[in-house]
Amino acid sequence: MVSTQETTNIATPETAHASNRPPRVSRSRRFGKPVTTVKTVACLRIPHFPWQLEVARKPELGDQSLIVAGKALDLIEDQEIRETGSDALSARVVIAASPDLTDVSPGMPLAEATARHRGVQIVEADIPLYGMVFDDIVENLERLVPDIEVATPGLAYVGIWGLEGLYGDDANVVRLLASTVDSFDLRIGVGENKWLAYAASLLSRANSGRKVTGEPGKFLDKFPVDALPMPHELVKRLHSFGLKTMGHIADIPRGPMEAQFGLNGGTAWELANGIDHRPLIPKRSALGVSEHLDFPDPTVSMATILPAVESLLDRAYGRPQLSNRFARHANLQSQVFQKAPWTMRIGFKDPVGNKNKALFAIKSKLDLAEIPGPLEDMRITLSGITGEAGRQESMWLEVKRDDDLRETISQLRSRLKTAPPVYQVRELEPWSRIPERRFALVQMSGPGG
């Protein structure tokens, strides 16, 4: 059962200021702001989500101090940054830790965490699994509310404004949301923006909700800077300057914060004052078809893997969701024996509407792929499904001829692994008196792409 506790007046004896500083008022309130409808946001947080999952998978880990380790890239929320990830994002960091390791936080370099806790158990992060389990949770939530933003596995923001007519007040909405998650320790926070909702969730007890209704400045005053959704390095620097709570940061004008810490310093200052302009970006529901099988024995043999892929594709294309439809991407996921899970993403050059073409593309990529160890199972997910029910051929012969040529070239490219030497004659300077400058052979497909 979920209880909601309103923090309407946060100046309780426990949280009141120890100093004589007057209660802080957020900038937006200090200077006044246009009267707009407050869009209340709920933050659903499953603390130590990867750890909870690992313990659920191997209960014997529950008694041990544990660090779930992965790459910094796995903690980045922005997909674009992930795809253009630099070397720094490949560094090994803490993804999650067991609750007893209170001084270990996500994003901390693994070396630093292990130096603090020698002999701690380290488990390789199973990011695809965390994503899949959390996707299931979000799928359940989507039946209740439409606007859900998934920040990371274990953390989601839900737009709960305008739901009074359906579900009653915020407390009822929170109860409903909590009822969809039954097997995890869930904390829910409610606030006027994402940051306040997140901060409220940090204060809420297990399977309960907390709402911020008072002055955000007062509410946040004693919050440790470690709670800021900022890079670990910045938090360390804040500590080194003696800035240990939000109140410390909010006491400083914004200018010096930005001068010292750059753009992130300005953001930290805003958050410390309860200001968060980040919009809620609802998850776009993408239709995907997923099929799974377990190998009888862990295998690295292509003679086993390829028939498995073929069988999965056969099943996937047999599903009604893919009937007369085309997929743009395929995602292969496998558990690897005694190693981190393996994933591979294949983008089809053209949307693929049948098993054979998909298998051809996947096989070409598998031939080049390095499989990290014996695969225990395989899941294939076809996504980017288009409504295109067929391929429109041109009635003009020349266009059709060009289409056919392009298709042939793309097939050749897949087979040769390089741009095929197919050229087209193009006019360059037909007026030139130098014959070799009048025309040129232009490669039909770029050499690199």
Partner 1 sequence: MPQKRTKEKTTGKNRNGIKPLNAPRNIEVRVDNQGSPTSIRVPSSQNETHISVNSSLLISGHTGNNYLVSDGRWIDVSSVLDLWKINDEWWRGSEDEIARLYYRLRLSNGQQTTVYLDLVKNKWFRQAG
**Which residues of this protein are in contact with partner 1, per CB under 8 A?**
419, 423, 425, 428, 433-443, 446-447
Cβ atoms of 21 and 215 closer than 8 Å: no
Cβ distance to partner 1 smaller for residue 314 or 402: 402
Q: Please list, in sequence order, all residues whose beta carbon lies within 8 angstroms of the beta carbon of residue 51, skipping any fewer than 6 positions away.
A: 66, 68, 96, 97, 98, 99
Q: Residues in the chain, how many? A: 449
CB of 347 to partner 1, least distance (A): 23
Which residues have C-beta within 8 Å of that of residue 315, sequence separation ≥ 6? Answer: 291
Which residue, 319 or 437, has its beta carbon nearer to partner 1? 437
**Would residue 173 be called left, alpha or beta, if left means φ above 0 and alpha means ψ between -120 and 50 degrees?**
alpha
Phi, then psi, of 370 in degrees rounded to 5: -105, 110
> With respect to partner 1, which residue has the nearer C-beta, 303 or 425?
425
- Token pair 């499904």 is found at 385
Q: Which long-range contacts (CB under 8 A, 24 or more apart) does 313-321 make?
A: 313/355, 313/358, 313/359, 313/362, 313/380, 313/382, 314/355, 315/291, 316/289, 316/290, 316/291, 316/380, 316/382, 317/353, 317/354, 317/355, 317/358, 317/382, 319/289, 321/287, 321/289, 321/385
User: Residues 139, 283: contact at Cβ < 8 Å?
Assistant: no
Instruction: Return the number of the residue (300 or 441) whose C-beta is nearest partner 1.
Output: 441
Closest CA to 292 of 406, 403, 396, 375: 375
Minimum gap (Å) between residue 412 Cβ and partner 1: 14
Q: Which is nearer to partner 1, 244 or 406 (CB)?
A: 406
CB atoms within 10 A of CB 208: 19
Considering beta carbons, is residue 253 or 421 the nearer one to partner 1? 421
Written as one letter, the residue type at 404 is D
127 versus 444: smaller Cβ distance to partner 1:
444
Q: What's the closest the beta carbon of residue 409 comes to partner 1, in angstroms?
A: 12
Nearest approach in angstroms of CB 419 to partner 1 is 7
Instruction: Give 33-50 as a 3 state SS string.
Output: CCCCCCCCEEEEECCCHH
Least CB distance to partner 1 at residue 440 (A) = 5
> What does the alpha-carbon distance between residue 61 and residue 56 come to, in Å, rounded to a whole number?
9
Q: Which is nearer to partner 1, 64 or 423 (CB)?
A: 423
Which is closer to partner 1, CB of 115 or CB of 425? 425
3-state helix, strand, coil split of the chain in percent (to 5) is 40, 25, 40
Nearest approach, Cβ of residue 408 and partner 1 (Å): 17
Question: Can you say whether the dihedral through the CA atoms of 77, 78, 79, 85 is positive or negative?
Answer: negative
Minimal distance, residue 84 CB to partner 1, in Å: 23
What are the C-alpha distances in Å from 159 to residues 31, 270, 341? Answer: 26, 21, 33
Nearer to partner 1, 59 or 435 (CB): 435
Closest separation in Å from C-beta 445 to partner 1: 8
Q: Least CB distance from residue 439 to partner 1, whole Å?
A: 4
Distance CA 58, CA 123 (A): 11
Q: Which is nearer to partner 1, 161 or 439 (CB)?
A: 439
Does residue 163 come out as left (phi exceeding 0), alpha (psi in the -120 to 50 range) or beta?
Answer: alpha
Q: How far is the CB of 407 from partner 1 (least distance, A)?
A: 19
Q: How far out from the chain centre does Cα 34 lie?
A: 33
| CB of 397 vs partner 1, minimal distance in Å | 25
Residue 144 tokens, joined: 């209740």
